[in-house]
A = this chain, B = another copy of it.
Amino acid sequence: MTERPTASAAGRLSVIGIGPGADDLITPQVQAAIDDATDALGYYPYVDKLATRGHLQLHGSDNREELARARSALDLAAQGRRVLVVSSGDPGVFAMASAVFEALDHAPAADQARWAGVEVQVLPGITAMLAAAARLGAPLGHDFCVINLSDNLKPAATITHRIRLAAQADLAMAFYNPSSKSRPEGFARALAVLREECEPGRLICFARNVSRADERLAVHRLDAVQPDMADMRTLVIVGNSLTRQVGRHVYTPRSHG
């Protein structure tokens, strides 16, 4: 005899984005989900932000354990709990939402049966590039692309190919994870492509720890940029060929050509 999971007994899994750092960039929708939840899973520093919320059972884990975390969250939800999976920024942009759907998609039959009644929802958040762009002015005011420079989950050649085509399309670009301790070469590699494809005066923006107390913004011409200007806490925005400065702001005009 097979047991079928009963939908009424299953809980909910909410993949939430808590924005770039500042509390006043967390949406009321996400706040309500936090208020209503029983458990929170995520990378330690994000889950630690919820430590003041006494009603939550916190399950912090390391950064490289996204799939295991997603499975644990689905297990807890299948037991009837209301579970948060916490990402910074927006959960759908280089964060936990895809990992949760990968776990569902590739689950063994037994897990699939157990997880079948779980309601999965994704709640959007202010992703780093939008917060950074707002603080800089409007560098993403025209067509742009968004590229994760980490070669953890794709070949380095794919990344450089994409940057080259994006430059040829004259798209502005937002780079996530430009550099990390274990993979410091991401931004240097991107920079080499940009130097081949773009004019020396192209504007490159660096936004570190946006919306936090130690936020740091900088704008440089491409020919003055050094690889060490971006670390793992930096969001890089490359302007298109028309991106300009006005006063302390950077903006990309709405028109092109």
Contact = CB atoms under 8 A, between A and B. Distances in A.
Interface of A: 19, 22-29, 32, 66, 90-95, 97-102, 104-105, 120, 122-127, 130-131, 133-135, 137-148, 153-155, 158, 161-162, 165-166, 168-171, 244, 246-247, 249, 251-257
Contact of A251 (B98, B153, B161, B253): B98
A233 B38 CA distance: 37
- Work out how many copies of this chain go into the complex: 2
A244 B133 CA distance: 30
Nearest to A139: B92
A145 B171 contact: yes
Most buried by B among A98, A148, A158: A98
A122 B135 contact: yes
Please classify the interface of chain A as helix (H, G, I), strand (E, B), loop, or mixed, using the class held by over half of its residues.
mixed
Most buried by B among A99, A126, A138, A256: A138
Given A97-B251, A102-B254, A124-B133, 13 more contacts: A23-B28, A92-B138, A93-B141, A101-B138, A120-B249, A123-B134, A124-B134, A126-B126, A142-B148, A154-B255, A165-B166, A165-B168, A166-B166
Most buried by B among A23, A24, A92: A92
Nearest to A32: B24
B246 A105 contact: yes
Contact of A101 (B90, B137, B166): B137
